[in-house]
Amino acid sequence: MRTGKTPLLEVLDWLYPPICEICGLGLSEGKALCEPCAERLPRIVTPFCDVCGEHFQGLIDGPFDCPNCNEISFHFEFARSAMVRSDATLNLVHRLKYGKEIHLGAELGRLACLAFSDRRLAVALEEKWPLVPVPLHRSRQMERQFNQAEEIARSISIETGLPVSHLLKRGRRTETQTRLSRKQRMENLRGAFKLREPLPENVPPGYLLVDDVFTTGSTVDECAKVLRKAGAGRIAVLTVMRG
């Protein structure tokens, strides 16, 4: 993983001394969270579903698929989130997404990188799989002025050296997914994503779809379906939090 601050971050730290976004204590490393607060955010550890990454309590021996995933066939191989859903982590995601606190994208990207402890993602680092952020519709991106998935992917790229590839676009604006069932989400998203351009002749061995939160998997699955139809090989999903 890459470390170190850019000259721009050093200037911004001098002009606006950073403080921890959770406890409010001063920082000196160009981050948004102090180490103790970052460490207290609950991470996903074993046991978790090998397909959707949902964490389970109790003793489970070896790899397993949760009951939900036994009945679903996704277009991606597996999804891996770094963080368990918690009020503190969800607050950071919402402040980035709805509060336009874009600086939190860097911190959330660093948190997402904790998922690379999963041995299955080692190949993505070795083979330099491109990071593909889930796109917003252009009208929503104009309203928001940024795409949270792109900000998170950019941070992951800085930490890992993986390239960011804006392969996908959202062809139509969809209803917000928050209060929809999984079946309604799938119908809502059907045909919503398209390729910006054909995949390169030398198609990478795999792609990592990046988003902020994995809930039902409907959004990233629709994205993966588009990549599959275009000839992509392996596809995995990386998110900050499991919803």
Lowest mean pLDDT among 1-5, 99-103, 110-114, 142-146: 1-5
Q: Which of 239, 209, 210, 243 is nearest to 82 (CA)?
A: 239
Give me the amino acid identity at 61: D
Q: Measuring CA to CA, how many Å separate 169 from each of 1, 39, 65, 103, 243?
A: 29, 35, 31, 24, 24
- For the stretch 192-242, pLDDT in tens is 899 999 998 899 999 999 999 999 999 999 999 999 999 999 999 999 999
Task: State both tokens at 57.
Answer: 């309590």
Is the separation of the CB atoms in 158 and 2 below 8 Å? yes
For the chain, give the mean pLDDT.
90
What's the pLDDT at 3? 45
- Please tell me whether the peptide bond between 47 and the residue prior to it is cis, using omega within 30 degrees of 0: yes
Task: State both tokens at 136.
Answer: 């917003």
Q: At a CB cut-off of 8 Å and minimum separation 6, what does 218 contact?
A: 177, 182, 185, 186, 188, 189
Q: State the Cα–Cα distance between residues 70 and 51, nearest whole angstrom.
A: 9
- For the stretch 152-172, pLDDT in tens is 999 999 999 999 999 999 987
What's the pLDDT at 8? 60
The DSSP secondary-structure symbol of 123 reads H
Distance from the Cα of residue 92 to its chain's centroid = 13
Residue 7, exposed/middle/buried by CB under 10 A (0-12, 13-18, 19+)? Answer: exposed
CATH 3.40.30 matches 41-242: no
Rounded percentage of the chain residues whose pLDDT exceeds 70: 89
pTM more than 0.85: yes
Q: State the Cα–Cα distance between residues 197 and 127, nearest whole angstrom.
A: 22
Q: Say yes or no to pLDDT of 2 above 60.
A: no
What's the pLDDT at 7? 64
Q: Say yes or no to pLDDT of 48 above 90.
A: yes
What's the pLDDT at 210? 98
Q: Say yes or no to pLDDT of 12 above 70.
A: no
Give me the amino acid identity at 33: L
